[in-house]
Amino acid sequence: MFSYSLAEPLVQMKDVQLTLGGRLILENITATIRDIRRPGMQQGQVVAFLGPSGVGKSQTFWILAGLSQPDKGEVLVGNPPAPVQGGQVGVVTQHYTLFEHRTVLGNLRVAAKQKGIPSDAARKQALELLRKFGLADRAGAWPKELSGGQRQRVAIAQQLLCSDIFLLMDEPFSGLDPVMKTRVCELINEIASMDEMRTLIVVTHDVRAALSIADHVWLIGRDRGPQGEVLSGAKIKEEIDLKERGIAWRENRESLPQYEETVREIEKRFLTL
């Protein structure tokens, strides 16, 4: 078991509730992400909101990003905590949106400019990120010339440049082959280690991928009625601390017996979410 301690809250969802078209979507969702400190290590946070398709994960995503407002409750980020603002949290959607009329480097420089980074510094930081993400030779390429995996890495680099320390990813494993999925998991862990305060929030239904990157998991689901019917209003049904289970931060964690046990536990739990 690795030694660690939990410090101040970095992201807090407090009693978040959302109704759309008269239907309750999210009900009193409360969750706190704290700074993780490991002796002699620079350790960011990687957490996953995990649940079946259609349960309300996308709405949770937009509220966390500050791009949608709940009916009740709030999302606080930073220290000291303050209500999240649109643009404060980097957002990587499934479509990896890029400016098609700009090169890869041009896309990153636009992102840096939005953050107020001077031109020379923006170019330097952009090239450094491309090097770290294995894309140094694609700086002059156009988005249409990139593979799906390359577009994703550029989109992540783009958001790292224009946002603060928070990065939110929606189904980052969707449509990826096994090799690329492994590379994306590695990339997420690399990003988390770039900054002590770096906080990555992944919203997904992919159980195995989530357990391959996260240190903490929240299961989102809905209650059932007397006849087993699904009730409106998704909520946090369960928390799973992968640090305490000896899964987080381990190399080749997929080979650990507790990893497989947790996968089976969550997959069974999905039947009731």
CB neighbour list of residue 152: distance below 8 Å, 6 or more residues apart: 92, 96, 172, 184
> Mean pLDDT, the chain, as a whole number?
90
- pLDDT score, position 53: 87
Residues in the chain: 273
- pLDDT score, position 33: 96
Q: Is the pLDDT of residue 222 over 80?
A: yes
CB neighbour list of residue 167: distance below 8 Å, 6 or more residues apart: 89, 90, 92, 156, 159, 160, 191, 198, 199, 200, 201
Using pLDDT thresholds of 50, 70 and 90, give the confidence band for residue 164: low
Paired tokens of 128:
């450094």
pLDDT tens digits for 11-51? 999 999 999 999 999 999 999 999 999 999 889 999 999 99
Q: Is the pLDDT of residue 175 over 80?
A: no
pLDDT tens digits for 41-97? 889 999 999 998 889 999 999 999 999 999 999 999 998 999 999 888 888 887 778
Residues above pLDDT 90, as percent of the chain: 59
- pLDDT score, position 8: 95
Q: Is the pLDDT of residue 189 over 90?
A: no
CB neighbour list of residue 123: distance below 8 Å, 6 or more residues apart: 105, 109
Report residue 106 CA to chain centroid gap: 25
Task: Tell me the domains of the chain and their CATH numbers.
Answer: 5-88+165-270 (3.40.50.300), 96-163 (no CATH)
Return the number of other C-beta atoms located less than 10 Å from residue 160's C-beta. 26
Distance CA 38, CA 4 (A): 4
pLDDT tens digits for 120-148? 888 998 998 898 888 999 999 999 999 88
Residues above pLDDT 70, as percent of the chain: 100
Distance CA 164, CA 88 (A): 6
Helix, strand, coil percentages, rounded to 5, for the chain: 35, 30, 40
What is this structure's pTM? 0.87
Pick the residue with more confidence: 185 or 9? 9
